[in-house]
Amino acid sequence: MKLIKNARIITMDPQRRTFDQGAIAIKGSRIVAVGESATLEKEYRDAEIIDAKGMLVIPGLINAHTHLYQILYKGLGDDASLSNWLKKCVYPMSLVLRGKDCYDATMLTAVEMIKGGSTTYVDCHYMNRDLECQDYIAEATKVSGLRGVMGRGTIDSAPAPEELRESIPQAVAECERVIKTYHGTLDGRLSVRVEALNEKLASTEMLRAMRGVANDFGVGINMHIAEASERVKETQERFGMTSIEYAHSLGILGPDALLAHCCWLSEHDKQLLADTHTSVAHNPVSNQYLSDGVAPIPELIKMGVNVTAGPDGACSNNNQNMFDVMKSAALLHKVHYLDPEIMTAAMVFEMVTINAAKAIGMEKDLGSLEVGKYADLAIIDLEQPCMIPCFNPLSNLVYSATPDVVNSTMIHGEMLMRDRELLHIDEKETLAKASATSWDLARRAGLA
């Protein structure tokens, strides 16, 4: 039993309760009480005490869209459009990417995420020249203590290099293997979703096949869609439909679907997303980095679409810093719509907590600090320079904070960082190994 006491708390529960002198009791992996510190201290006398005086406790941030492997490619794809970025950086590096490299990528991401108060990743891995990539990602998730939603992705169409394309039977068989091996394992800390990457690099048959796998196993489905305007134009030319209409015609949309990007949407597309209860993963930093466009997020939210957010891979961002994501998500829409009220700190914080949990079908377990949910949380130091003064903690979190303000991070009831020190990972060794692996990959790809 653990008791975090004397904390300011933002619960994100349905009443949006906050506490000035709050406490959270944790038994095993779950929260058993949230309330006033004075009351819970009496109730849980024997608990291991974590004194959070001067600190703020928030639900762990959910990184709702990333590509773990891309952290090794950081800095090689600057100043290019989406299609050129794939050509000059992502394809050449991925042709030499091996499963064991994905272990180092996931461990490096784990260090950055845990030190930045992020507790869950939602990955998409579609570079399957080495079919063991998923196994190494799973192993690193186990070792690091992170909560993971592995995305078993696939591509089968030009202009992706032949070597990176999968046949439909292989993709289906591998998805089934990964789901059977890892979905719901690590005491519920690891789960699996499937994905045919997007409307360009996956065929109609592959998109249908992945929807079939998702239905057969009751796992969610992800897709990248309407990211760059040329993708939507091409889809219109090939199928006589917008990208969203095309995905809808294949049965992709639905409450278990999480669509990344959605930058280029017609009015009908927005209505389809709302009507089908499809979730959207907004990637404001990546969309700026690749000059994709501005997703009409405030309009989607107004129509009732569940919107979450992520950094995207760390070679179109170029980090896994959720504070950057939050700030960009707010500022991008304020300037795009020339309306300072269109996106507030409160709306953005919902995206990376409760909305994200709902998007991955885990709203009963994650996204807020409530009794019965997993103890995934971050303890924020309010005595750091960028957090002073703290009139409004939510404002400071979105507009002022950097990852350095995260004092401690807990996942699944386990303290993974305490007073900025990682307790389960050898940080120095992990960083050195990831750096060496990146250089080795770049040399083999001819990009070093």
Nearest distance in Å: CB 272, Zn ion: 21
Nearest distance in Å: CB 223, Zn ion: 10
Q: Which is nearer to Zn ion, 321 or 430 (CB)?
A: 321
Nearest distance in Å: CB 1, Zn ion: 40
Q: Which is nearer to Zn ion, 292 or 312 (CB)?
A: 312
Q: Which is nearer to Zn ion, 312 or 381 (CB)?
A: 312
Q: Which is nearer to Zn ion, 4 or 137 (CB)?
A: 137
Nearest distance in Å: CB 73, Zn ion: 13
Q: Which is nearer to Zn ion, 261 or 373 (CB)?
A: 261
Nearest distance in Å: CB 310, Zn ion: 8
Position of minimal CB gap to Zn ion:
312
The span from the CA of 7 to the CA of 25, in Å, is 12
Nearest distance in Å: CB 41, Zn ion: 45
The amino acid sitting at 209 is: A
Q: Which of 52, 162, 20 is nearest to 409 (CA)?
A: 52
Residues that bind Zn ion (CB under 5 A): 312
Q: Which is nearer to Zn ion, 10 or 258 (CB)?
A: 258
Q: Which is nearer to Zn ion, 312 or 376 (CB)?
A: 312
Q: What is the 3-state secondary structure (H, E, C) of the chain?
A: CEEEEEEEEECCCCCCCEEEEEEEEEECCEEEEEEEHHHHHHHCCCCEEEECCCEEEEECEEEEEECHHHHHHCCCCCCCCHHHHHHHHHHHHHHCCCHHHHHHHHHHHHHHHHHCCEEEEEECECCCCCCCHHHHHHHHHHHHCCEEEEEEEECCCCCCCHHHCCCHHHHHHHHHHHHHHHCCEHHHCEEEEEEEEECCCCCHHHHHHHHHHHHHHCCCEEEEECCCHHHHHHHHHHHCCCHHHHHHHCCCCCCCEEEEECCCCCHHHHHHHHHCCCEEEECHHHHHHCCCCCCCHHHHHHCCCEEEECCCCCCCCCCCCHHHHHHHHHHHHHHHCCCCCCCCHHHHHHHCCHHHHHHCCCCCCCCCCCCCCECCEEEEECCCHHHCCCCCHHHHHHHHCCHHHEEEEEECCEEEEECCEECCCCHHHHHHHHHHHHHHHHHHHCCC
Nearest distance in Å: CB 315, Zn ion: 10
Q: Which is nearer to Zn ion, 232 or 377 (CB)?
A: 232
Q: What are the two backbone dihedrals, phi and then psi, of residue 309, each rounded to the nearest 5 degrees? A: -150, 155
Nearest distance in Å: CB 66, Zn ion: 7
The span from the CA of 276 to the CA of 204, in Å, is 20
Q: Which is nearer to Zn ion, 52 or 210 (CB)?
A: 210
Nearest distance in Å: CB 313, Zn ion: 6
Nearest distance in Å: CB 127, Zn ion: 12
Structure-token pair, residue 194? 């499937």
Q: Which is nearer to Zn ion, 101 or 312 (CB)?
A: 312
Q: Which of 189, 191, 240, 246 is nearest to 223 (CA)?
A: 246
